[in-house]
Amino acid sequence: MNRPRIALMCGKEGYLMSLNKEYLDAIWKSGGLPVVLPYTEDDAQIQEYVELFDGFMFCGGGDVDPQYYNEEKHPKTANISSERDLFESRMFRAVYPTNKPILGICRGEQIINVLLGGTLHQHIEDHTENRGEARDGQCHSVALDKNGLLFALMRKENLLVNTYHHQCVKRLADALACDAVSEDGYIEAYHAPSHPFCLGVQWHPELFYDKDESSVKIFTAFIDACR
């Protein structure tokens, strides 16, 4: 199999880089070759990343610094990594104009919206990861917009998803269109109409790859676009 090379953005603490294995497994099972990118501030290295890889995935993690969308830090905004914010912002701004496929999950969905000019709700009390079923349970539904990319992939009006976040999109960037809304009215997914494939989802489809057809469709569509 000729696997497209997929670059994944990850977390970093000190000298250690980390990423949940489920992201890597989902990419591999969908036909891609996952590669975790080391951070860099070198423009030449970033450009080489852009040229080398076929697709780019922005993964979950800590909160995006609200300075990126001109807000003061909320008391419950936490786990900010200025190094990660800087690296991911430089990577996204280098990749997006190339029209190479992009997938954003959780934090990844949030930072893409911010980098395109949108804002975030910094804390939503009833959406926190403190809910017992949050990470591994599909505990609420989202309604899909019939004009969206997700609906075109799923051909269904609702999806059952998990809640493992405390922030989400507040103002959607002008370049993006809403694909899904939660039961309580929050934006849960979007796509970029002018881009060949730029999709962001607030939930974690990688956690349900082996037991949920909708989760599989998100990754297979991404990998197919990367081919």
Residues 16/19/21/23 CA torsion (nearest 10 deg): -160
Known catalytic membership, residue 106: yes
Active-site residue flag, 204: yes
Return the H-helix or E-strand segment holding 104: strand 102-105
Of 51-60, 73-82, 89-98, 131-140, least confident by mean pLDDT is 131-140
Query: Does the pLDDT value for residue 84 go beyond 90?
Result: yes
Q: How many domains does the chain have?
A: 1
82: amino acid identity, one letter = S
Domain of 164 in residue numbering reads as 5-226
Structure tokens at 2: 């000729």
Q: Using one digit for the tens of pLDDT, what is the confidence trace for 7-64? A: 999 998 888 899 999 999 999 999 999 999 999 999 999 999 999 999 999 999 999 9
Active site residue 123: no
Identify the sign of the CA torsion 200, 157, 217, 227.
negative
Task: Count Cβ atoms within 10 A of the Cβ of residue 3 and give its class: 0-12 exposed, 13-18 middle, 19 or more buried.
Answer: middle
User: 189 with 170: CB under 8 angstroms?
Assistant: no
What is the token pair recorded at 70? 């001109």
From 188, 198, 206, 226, the catalytic residue: 206
Any idea what the CATH number is for the domain that residue 34 is in? Answer: 3.40.50.880
How far apart, in whole angstroms, are the C-alpha atoms of residue 38 and residue 18? Answer: 10
Q: Of residues 106, 168, 198, 226, which has the active-site annotation? A: 106
Out of 109, 140, 204, 226, which one is annotated catalytic? 204
Nearest one of 98, 137, 132, 112 to 226, comparing CA atoms: 98
The Cα–Cα gap between 51 and 57 comes to: 15
Q: What letters, b where the CB count within 10 A reaches 16 and e where it falls short, cover 111-124?
A: bbbbbbebbbbbbb
| Radius of gyration from C-alpha coordinates of the chain | 16
pLDDT tens-digit series, residues 152-186? 999 999 998 877 668 899 999 999 999 999 988 99
Res. 130: pLDDT tops 90 = no
Q: pTM for the complete prediction? A: 0.94
Alpha carbons 103 and 6: distance in angstroms, whole number: 10
**Average pLDDT over all residues of the chain:** 92
